């Protein structure tokens, strides 16, 4: 997969699959899967580090996760998230952050929002850094949005999201993530843009879909947004395996003779 193939998929009407990935062991499994794109998301702050939101994510942390993913999944197209405010400083700092992620093994970066980012997106694409945009419920704006809320319901928000997606395309982005927006708005953005849209909580009209890996494997417990489909009960299966291991240790059935060196 590369950005040329990605854009071709849209013109051929073939959908794209993307999942988050933060570590080498799951990257190894994904490397042998048909999944098209791996996203080293700033959701790693929540999923891997236990924070309540993505604000604490840093370039250094995303770079460590990206390097691990690249080692585990050398065959995959890897997109790394630019964390909160990491691309809103002076130009040198912004470029240094992007360089760290690309040198850690990313093939592209993703950034949230459009207003104030157009010039930077243009500069990056002109400098050989493919950029994926992200509009709608952009989690880095959760304090400005008053929480994790569906975006694009009012006509004003709708206009803004369409304008942002168009702006990103004009600035050179190769794809745009649409997060938690009504399905009809996602459909309108998807038919307006030439570049692919990748939805999460944005209905089926998008050119592709993304989910957090741990959500789709049923590894996350607690609140589950309605757009998350679990493809297995990972947490239950792991709990059962750990329970069996514990019982067999206590009962003396593990290890057996075959599992013991002579």
Whole-number minimum distance, CB 5 to ligand KIV, in Å? 20
Q: Does 188 bind ligand KIV (CB under 6 A)?
A: no
Q: Does 42 bind ligand KIV (CB under 6 A)?
A: yes
Q: What is the 3-state secondary structure of the chain?
A: CCHHHHHHHHHHCCCEEEEECCCHHHHHHHHCCCCCEEEECCCHHHHCCCCCCCCCCCHHHHHHHHHHHHHHCCCCEEEEECCCCCCCCCHHHHHHHHHHHHHHCCCEEEEECCCCCHHHHHHHHHCCCCEEEEEECCHHHHHHHCCCCCCCCCHHHHHHHHHHHHHHHHHCCCEEEEECCCHHHHHHHHHHCCCCEEEECCCCCCCEEEECHHHHCCCCCCCCCCCCCCCCCHHHHHHHHHHHHHHHHHCCCCCCCCCCCC
Q: Does 177 bind ligand KIV (CB under 6 A)?
A: yes
Q: Which of 169, 179, 259, 262 is catalytic?
A: 179
Question: Using the rule CB under 6 A, which residue among 210, 216, 217, 219 binds ligand KIV?
Answer: 210
Cβ closer to ligand KIV: 164 or 179?
Answer: 179
Question: Using the rule CB under 6 A, which residue among 6, 30, 36, 43 binds ligand KIV?
Answer: 43
According to CB under 6 A, which residues from 132 to 161 bind ligand KIV? 134
Residues in binding contact with ligand KIV, number by CB under 6 A: 12
Q: Does 171 bind ligand KIV (CB under 6 A)?
A: no
Q: Is 257 a catalytic residue?
A: no
Catalytic residue positions? 179
Query: What residues make contact with ligand KIV under the rule CB under 6 A?
Result: 20, 39, 41-43, 81, 134, 177, 179, 200, 210, 212
């Amino acid at each position: 997969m590369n950005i040329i193939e990605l854009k071709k998929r849209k013109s051929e009407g073939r959908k794209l699959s993307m999942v988050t990935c933060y570590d080498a062991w799951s990257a190894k499994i994904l490397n042998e899967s048909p999944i098209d794109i791996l996203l080293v998301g700033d959701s790693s702050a929540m999923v891997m580090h236990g924070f309540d939101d993505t604000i604490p994510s840093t370039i250094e942390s995303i770079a460590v996760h990206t390097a691990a993913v690249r080692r585990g999944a050398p065959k995959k197209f890897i997109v790394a998230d630019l964390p909160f405010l990491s691309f809103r400083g002076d130009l040198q700092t912004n470029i240094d952050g992007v360089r760290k992620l690309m040198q850690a093994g990313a093939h592209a970066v993703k950034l949230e929002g459009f207003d104030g980012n157009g010039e930077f997106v243009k500069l990056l694409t002109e400098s050989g850094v493919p950029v994926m945009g992200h509009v709608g419920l952009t989690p880095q704006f959760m304090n400005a949005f008053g929480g994790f809320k569906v975006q694009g319901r009012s006509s004003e928000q709708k206009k803004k999201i369409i304008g942002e997606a168009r702006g990103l395309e004009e600035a050179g982005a190769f794809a745009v993530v649409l997060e938690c927006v009504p399905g009809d708005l996602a459909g309108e953005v998807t038919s307006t843009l030439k570049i692919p849209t990748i939805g999460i909580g944005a209905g089926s009209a998008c050119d592709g879909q993304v989910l957090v890996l741990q959500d789709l494997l049923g590894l996350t417990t607690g609140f589950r947004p309605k757009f998350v489909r679990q493809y297995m009960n990972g947490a239950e299966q792991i709990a059962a395996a750990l329970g069996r291991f514990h019982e067999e240790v206590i009962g003396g059935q593990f290890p057996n003779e075959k599992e013991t060196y002579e």
